[in-house]
Structure 1
């Protein structure tokens, strides 16, 4: 390989870390290179454009992802999640993310300064970047509940919709919701959690979102269900919201508040809860020291910061909220993402027809996002945590002292 260009040599040095599994690479000149155990099931990386190598040499993992967006490389059978899994398993991804170059430093620093969610206006722009892509866009790959967070799978044959309804039921049981109670949902999306809780548990709900697009459709969905007198949707930052509630929930929003706002978020949560109130935080997390990479920061979730479990519990305790129960739904998110990606792939032509913004580069970007996150949850250090907590020092007996979610849900199927 000594006679290869420097960028190509660098990428193959990364791939030489592969000991578990097998990767075949075909470069633009038709040359083939093999890495790992050739007796294993093989993945085939086909490089179409020589510029891929220099992009990786300059920008590391971010450059590799950008090259995919440009159509410069493919996995022969479109098994990106397995490719990312191979990289996770063999430390390739970690090594690529450790690359430090001046162009990468400048690029990352500029992006983070522009999207830091300390200011409310930055939080609003970050949310709009991802969640205001259009309700019709999301309807082409989400389930009918329009739930854009980790589902809860009880059986291998569960549909995506079943997984999401089971997730809502799981949360309602953990919160021990009662008829007439008030529930605030921070980051309510299209209102799925509140609609489920109102329909099955008789609660009154307030949903908070920064997405104008989500709010419009959420209000329509609430009206269609006849819950307009029991559920209100408000477009505000959580830092601008007043009032107290019996129960609190936030699903898939905490990872967007930014590390500098963890304490602010938990203090606001404590103020939302009435004395002896109960809350549940459902958030993407990590058991790794690595957080979102530069590519995710720029193209997918600007301003996001994925917490470790101790960062969550530490700030809950600092806000005088007592932690009652925590669990990880890690494998459930891998399956949720698999469903989303399959739906997305099945509907690519319909999505492309919605608007010129959904061009080939955008579609490849989203395909890579969905598959790389599936790989991160299936093979890497990504987690999704549900943390149950309460206001005060005493655990009230109307919330279960012990909880067997799977048994409880299965009994009611």
Structure 2
């Protein structure tokens, strides 16, 4: 194996030829071109029209890295400056790259690769979950204020028409959640993965419920406490730095927004069993999460290393299977795919506007 790799590292054109073939199979070879540092086309096909995206690769090892782990290789090369965009945007590169890598997901080896990936992933223990949460969320709150709405909602907003601003859409999301939960004054509500506390606080203020929020991130907990101190419903709001698996009590309502993605595939059954244990017999639970179209694309190496360690984006079928064995009954499902696209567009625009 070492001899094969060494030989092909000396002849990167062979590896670029393989990449070019994969781009062709995926139907993106006319839209996505790779150039070497001298500006020569090394992957992709020339066409009548210019490509949407031209990538200049300054790293001779990049083709090998792309073939071994495309999402990680492209992401790291872009951050390190070993890859630059000469035409097109980063969003367009990601769109075309996703289309190209989907070809691999349809290969006969994909189920084995997915199974091996799950086998070698460490279990999401309570200690590891706390460490993973701190990795992403224990960044100073000021960073998130650069691109989030004024309520600091770090999850999909709700865009009934698609023309709403981010603040309005996040307010509509909270109202939509409240409607689904059929809230009444003095009901007890548990918010699992409460973030900076906005949802728990607003439901206490607007619906009169008694809110308890759980988070694993000290920075989020401190900000949630600061926000609660300023709330008119302070006496009905409590936040705890705790893992939901170690929490007890019975609640009329449970809400969990943007938290299921951190549970991991193996943790899905236990997650819903815990919700079932904490929910009163006539209670309602609402889980809002990112999902994927199938069980083969729930893990991304780039996201796992740099964004959400230990995370997993489940397919709806995986969620339903875990839920059905928990004792809970599914009453409603809503797909918010385009709503998240609008949310991400707002976050990206706000973040770019804050660049120095």
Instruction: State TM-score, norm by structure 2.
Output: 0.87
Could you tell me how far apart the structure 2 residues matched to 1:137 and 1:264 are? 33
Task: Tell me which residue corresponds to 1:129.
Answer: 135
Aligned residue in 2 for 1:51: 61
Within 5 Å, give how 1:77-92 maps onto structure 2.
79-89=89-99, 91-92=100-101
Q: Deviations over 1:222-272 (max 9, x none)?
A: 111233211101000001111111111000101111122212111110121
Among 273, 293, 299, the residue aligned to 1:292: 299
In 2, Cα distance between the equivalents of 1:259 and 1:92?
A: 21
Alignment of 1:276 with 2:282, yes or no, is yes
For the 8 Å contact 1:22–1:36, the answer to whether it is kept is: no
Q: Is residue 2:245 matched to residue 1:239? A: yes
Q: Please give the root-mean-square deviation of Cα atoms over the aligned residues, in Å.
A: 2.7
Q: Compare relative contact order (CA 8 Å, sep 6+) and give the higher one, 1 or 2.
A: 1
Classify the secondary structure of the residue corresponding to 2:45: strand
Which residue of the other structure, out of 178, 181, 184, is the alignment partner of 1:178?
A: 184
TM-score, structure 1 as length reference: 0.76
Out of 199, 207, 219, the residue aligned to residue 201 of structure 1 is 207
Q: Structure 1 residues 36 and 142, CA, compared in 2 at 3 Å: closer, same or farther?
A: farther
Q: Aligned equivalents of 1:97 and 1:127: distance in 2?
A: 32
The equivalent residue for 1:342 is 349
CA contact (8 A) 2:141 2:219 kept: yes
Residues 28-37 or 283-292, more deviating? 28-37
**Within 2, Cα distance between the matches of 1:200 and 1:295?**
39
Structure 1 segment 221-260 matched on structure 2, within 5 A: 221-260=227-266
1:213 aligns with 2:213: no
**What's 2:24 paired with?**
16
Structure 1 unmatched ranges of 5 or more: 350-413
1:320 aligned to 324, 327, 330, which one?
327
- Choose from 191, 195, 201 the match for 2:197: 191
How far does residue 92 in structure 1 lie from its aligned partner after superposition?
3.5
Q: Structure 1: how far apart are the matches of 2:283 and 2:306?
A: 38
Q: Which runs of 5+ in 2 are unaligned?
A: 1-10
Shift of 1:38: 4.3
Distance 1:82 1:267 in 2: 40
Q: How many residues align?
A: 339
Q: Cα gap change, 1:325/1:193 in structure 2, threshold over 3 Å: closer, same or farther?
A: same
Task: Please report how far the alpha carbon of residue 321 of structure 1 lies from its aligned counterpart in structure 2 after TM superposition.
Answer: 0.8
Give per-residue Cα distances to partners, 1:93-151, cap 9 Å, x unaligned: 54389799xxx99xx799833xx31x200010111111112211111111111010111
Assess, with a 3 A threshold, how the Cα gap between structure 1 residues 264 and 4 changes in structure 2: closer, same or farther. Answer: closer
CA contact (8 A) 2:190 2:211 kept: yes
